[in-house]
Structure 1
Amino acid sequence: MNVLWYYVILVVVIYILAILFRDRLKVDVYGLILMRRTKKMRGWIDYIANLSPRFWRWSMNIGIPIAVLGMAYMVYTIILSLQYMFKTPTAALLLPGVDIPGSPIFIPIISGIIALIILMVVHEFGHGIMARVDGVRIKSIGVILLAILPGAFVELDEEDVEKAKRSVKLRIYAAGSIFNIALAAIALVTLFVISTPFINYAFQPDGLKIISVTPGGPSEGVLKDGMIVTNINGYQISDKDVYMNVILNKTKPGDTLTYVTDQGTYTITSTGQPNNASITYPGFRTEERLVVKPEVSRVYGEIIPWFVYYLDDVGYWVFALNLMVGLFNLLPIKPLDGGIIFEELLGYKIPEKIGKRKIPEKIAGKKLPEVFVRRIVSSVSVVLIGIVGFMIIYGVVPGIIKMF
């Protein structure tokens, strides 16, 4: 049974328990949305906000233009992705442990779950910290579940937000994504400076390890996660570069592939890749099998190198997921933070003329009428939701269907 079924079963159990014991568990049920609020941890947010209000305020003043640039970059990227969609689907489902055929991303389950938890905490604490820096009260903190998609939230006092200056609102709204992007940058620097150099020093490749057999692929039911591949069709496999050379240059779709592994010899018939039928697709994902170098093992033993290795893996996914989700959240789509930022910026001021048409004096130089702003934001949101939805349906749904 593939991991997606475990998610479905877990979510069904959560929904049943939430509905049956909503009062005891203090869960609010709104159709498919489950919400659990708490007033705990507000003290932590206050403490962090009060460490250096000036630092938080000025760092987020820099963060606002970064958020706007990120918004523009994401709109450009989404539109640009359309022309490549039919050749190479780029959409992916960010569920740790779920390997969707044709997906460009596979997130390991343990590292992925840790990284997602860190992502949500940092994002919502970012909103909460900036709110408290400028005196906006926090009503509650909580978690949310929509179908199989988890999330977190910080519920701010609406009256305080309404009374706040536009600059304060922009800092609060931008904070979540900026905190994510900042954490991604910190993780990337840490990887380059500390963990990755040590891993290159401490480990050496020794074959290829299967990390996921893709459901519905040619290897399903034959090969298994954790197998170590040492030979394919007579070619010795020492690392991933050798493996890719064999797959791309020595085989073609429809070929019989014989794998020599640490658990025996197995044969499969390859197919074409879901996104490129001309390239051999064995139906599993791999990573280099690493072993600690003898000279390193004599000095550090086995525990320390492997601890750094798994820490590096978590660090990589903290970087990747915070960057991806942080930028995606800047899309000018309501209710994403980018949509709210876009609405605030759009409602600031308008010129005396739009083209050759003169704007009435009572409107010119003043706030753009809220109805007009909302119509523009709604229109942009609908268009971008349509594009993103199409990319998900075209790039992910066919792969999910193949899994069942």
Structure 2
Amino acid sequence: MNGIWYYVIAFILIWILSLTFKKQLTNHGFEIEFPVIMWKTKRLRGFINGIANLSPKFWKWFMTIGLIICYGAMVLMTYTLIQSLSTIVEAPQVSIVLPGVDMPGSTIYVPFSYGLIGLATVIIVHEFSHGILARVEKINIKSIGLLLFAVLPGAFVEPDEEELKEASRLARLRVYTAGSMANITLALIAILICSAVSTMIIPNEFSEDGISISRVIEGSPADKVLKEGMIIESIDNKSVGSSNEYLNIVANTTPHQNLSIVTDQGEYVINLDKNPSNDTRGYIGIQATKHYELNKDVSAVWGNQLPWIWFSVAELFQWIFILNIGIGLFNLLPLKPLDGGHMFEILLSYKLKEETYKPIVKAVSIILAIIIVVSIIYSFL
């Protein structure tokens, strides 16, 4: 079943139950106004205070450096988004990503379980970092909570808006920077762990033995022909013994080419389609990964099952990296209500009067929002 149906079913069940028991839920701190369900609490404020008080000087120093990094990322992201207009018809660079769902036009498929865990890390570190820096800057936190937008989960830390407005511009910048800076930091930690597992542990415990199919994309030429778990032995009579050999063969395919693929379960002929990212190349419609065999000396010590967990560890941290860096950087676009929009507005306020910088921020926000919406529409088409 296409992953989108899990979201549809969850949406129907959640909203039937929430509207049916709205009164009881409201009495327990829930706020239900379609399409948003919010739950607020004050219990975690002590936890955030404790982290903030561990070393206020460190947090200020770290986020001051973060300002330089995040403003640089803002410029890069804005330039990249504008540049994407040149390829918007052939290969849109912006698309919606949902864990477990094949989104039209998206070249990224996020596995359901890894995606949910990755998104949880994005939300938690982002929002808690806002709260930590708010307390470092002596801004009170009104509440902390969870939210559900339609069916998509989220979290929030609600600082006192009046105190935030009265804080110095540098203090506000640190607060707004904190979320994305935390995501970028976590992304770096995650990719270091993923790299360590992939380059130091897995090669020592396993031997590469060809290519296996990890996923068959629904509606692609390979759909209902190839299956997940098949090991590819050769393509068009060319041996596939490593990932490099596989990539070289696939890179030289063309649309509408008949491709002979020999697997451990038989031989199949597939008529290729146009590649969504490059219409001059052929498109099979599979995701392939290296196939490994466990070394005998490792299995003698740890057995035949336990060592395989390293692949799950590497993939989990890979998705934590991808989601944190992607969402963290996107949030830095100078587009309100994103954090980057607030940072852009504060930066302009150093040199411009309110009646000048407000319209500038509004105009930039509208332009970038139009580019994003158009890119998403083109990706679906």
> What TM-score comes out, normalization by structure 2 length?
0.91
Query: Post-superposition shift, 1:44?
Result: 1.8
Q: Which runs of 5+ in 2 are unaligned?
A: none
CA shift for structure 1 position 315 = 1.3
Aligned mates of 2:290, 2:100 — CA distance in 1: 18
Question: 1:263-304, CA deviations, whole angstroms, 9 ceiling, x for partnerless residues?
Answer: 444443222223333311112222122222223333444455
1:79 matched residue in structure 2: 82
Q: Which stretch shifts more, 101-110 or 163-172? A: 101-110
How far residue 55 of structure 1 moved from its aligned partner, in angstroms, is: 0.9
1:33 and 1:125 mapped to 2: Cα distance?
20
Equivalent residue, structure 2, for 1:189: 192
Question: CA separation in 1, counterparts of 2:221 and 2:244?
Answer: 22
Q: Structure 1 residues 100 and 286, CA, compared in 2 at 3 Å: closer, same or farther? A: farther
Unaligned residue ranges in structure 1 (runs of 5+): 351-367, 399-404
Q: CA deviation at 1:328?
A: 0.7
Q: Partner of 2:241: helix, strand, or coil?
A: coil
Correspondence for 1:382: 366
Distance in structure 2 (CA, Å) of the matches to 1:21 and 1:233? 61
Equivalent residue number for residue 401 of structure 1 = none
Q: Does 1:19 align with 2:19?
A: yes
| Partner in structure 2 of residue 232 of structure 1 | 235
Residue 155 (structure 2) pairs with residue 152 (structure 1) = yes
| Aligned alpha-carbon RMSD (Å) | 2.3
Letter in structure 2 aligned against 1:292: L
By how many angstroms is 1:140 displaced? 1.6
Aligned to 2:245: 242
Q: 1:125-162 deviations in whole A, cap 9, x for unaligned?
A: 11011111122121222233334543221111122212
Give the TM-score of the pair, scaled to structure 1.
Answer: 0.86
Deviations 1:381-403 (A, max 9, x none): 000001111111112x12xxxxx
Listed one character per residue, the Cα deviations across residues 210-265 of structure 1 (whole Å, up to 9, x for unaligned) are 2222222122223333333333344333233222233333x432233344444444
1:333 equivalent to 2:317? Answer no
Corresponding residue of 1:291 = 293
Paired residues of 2:194 and 2:315 also in contact (CA < 8 A): no
Query: Structure 1 pair 17/60, CA: closer, same or farther in 2 (3 Å)?
Result: same
Which AA in structure 2 matches 1:9?
I
- The answer for the alignment partner of 1:7 in structure 2 is 7
CA distance in 1, matches of 2:21, 2:3: 27
Q: Which letter maps to 1:278? A: T
Retained in 1: the 8 A contact 2:143–2:159? yes
Change (3 A) 1:275 1:187: closer
C-alpha deviations, 1:93-139, integer Å up to 9, x for none? 22122233542222222222211111110001110111111221212
Q: Distance in 2 between matches of 1:320 and 1:240?
A: 21
- Cα displacement string for residues 335-376 of structure 1 (whole angstroms, at most 9, x for unaligned residues): 1000111112222333xxxxxxxxxxxxxxxxx23x443222
> Following superposition, which runs of at least 4 residues in structure 1 exceed 6 angstroms of deviation?
none
- Answering whether residue 270 of structure 2 is matched by residue 268 of structure 1, we say yes
Contact 1:102 1:273 in 2 (8 A): no
Which segment drifts farther, 283-292 or 378-387? Answer: 283-292
Asked if the contact 2:107–2:277 (Cα under 8 Å) also holds between the matched residues in 1, the reply is no
Identity of aligned residues (%): 44
C-alpha distance in 1 between matches for 2:260 and 2:175 = 57
Establish whether residue 50 from structure 1 lines up as the match of residue 53 from structure 2. yes
Question: Quick one: structure 1 residues 53 and 237, their matched pair in 2 at CA, closer, same or farther if it must change by over 3 Å?
Answer: same
SS at 2:289's partner residue?
Answer: strand
276 and 195 in structure 1: CA distance in 2 versus 1, 3 angstrom threshold: closer
- Matched pairs, number: 378
Inter-CA distance 67–276: structure 2 relative to 1 (3 Å threshold): closer
Alignment partner, residue 391 of structure 1: 375
Is the Cα–Cα contact under 8 Å of residues 143 and 153 in structure 1 kept in the other structure? yes
Q: Partner of 1:305 in structure 2?
A: 307
Please give the alpha-carbon distance, in whole angstroms, between the structure 2 residues aligned to 1:14 and 1:208.
Answer: 41
